[in-house]
Amino acid sequence: MRTSLVAGNWKMNGSRAQIQLLVQDLQSNLAQLSSDIECLVCPPSIYIDQVSQALKSSIIQIGGQNCSEIAIAAFTGEISPAMLRDFGCNYVIIGHSERRLLLGETDDVIAAKFRVAQGAGLKPILCVGETKEQMQSGQSFLVVARQLQTVLTEVGINAFANAVVAYEPVWAIGTGLTATPEQAQNMHQQIREKFSNLSLDIAAKLRIIYGGSVTSGNARALFEQQDIDGGLIGGASLKARDFSDICHAAKSSMASL
Q: Report, as residue numbers or ranges, the catalytic residues.
A: 96, 168
Task: Name, in order, each residue with C-beta under 8 angstroms of 95's C-beta and a sequence gap of 6 or more.
Answer: 105, 110, 113, 114, 126, 127, 128, 147
Please tell me whether residue 235 binds ligand PGA under the rule CB under 6 A. Answer: yes
Q: Which is nearer to ligand PGA, 9 or 150 (CB)?
A: 9
- The window from 25-33, 109-117, 186-194, 231-239 that contacts ligand PGA (CB under 6 A) reads 231-239
CA torsion 37-250-86-151 (nearest 10°) is 110
Site for ligand PGA in 2-41 (CB under 6 A): 9
Phi, psi dihedral angles at 97 (to 5 degrees): -60, -30
Cα 161 from Cα 138, distance rounded (Å) = 30
Chain centroid to Cα 215, Å, comes to 15
Closer CB to ligand PGA, residue 203 or residue 249?
Answer: 249
- Residue nearer to ligand PGA on the CB measure, 148 or 236: 236
The CA-CA-CA angle for residues 212, 216, 219, to 5°, reads 55
- Is residue 213 at the binding interface for ligand PGA, with CB under 6 A as the rule? yes
Question: Rule CB under 6 A: is residue 173 a binding residue for ligand PGA?
Answer: yes
Minimum CB distance to ligand PGA, residue 201 (Å)? 28
Give 198's Cβ-side CA count (13 Å radius). Answer: 18
What is the rounded CA–CA span in Å between residue 132 and residue 151?
23
174 binds ligand PGA (CB under 6 A): yes
Distance in angstroms (rounded) separating the CA atoms of residues 194 and 187: 11
CB of 221 vs ligand PGA, minimal distance in Å: 15
Residue 219 engages ligand PGA in binding (rule: CB under 6 A) = no
- Residue 21: count other Cβ atoms within 10 Å of its Cβ: 12
- Judged by CB under 6 A, the chain residues 193 through 212 that form the site for ligand PGA are 211-212
The stretch among 13-21, 30-38, 66-74, 228-236 that binds ligand PGA (CB under 6 A) is: 228-236
| Least Cβ distance, residue 234 to ligand PGA (angstroms) | 2
The correct pick among 23, 41, 144, 233 for binding ligand PGA (CB under 6 A) is: 233
The residue of the chain with the least Cβ separation from ligand PGA equals 234
DSSP-derived 3-state class of residue 223? helix
Shorter beta-carbon distance to ligand PGA: residue 203 or 214: 214
Question: Could you tell me where the beta strands, DSSP code E, fall in 11-138?
Answer: 37-42, 61-64, 89-94, 123-128
Site membership for ligand PGA, residue 129 (CB under 6 A)? no
Residue numbers at the binding site for ligand PGA (CB under 6 A): 9, 168, 173-174, 211-214, 232-236
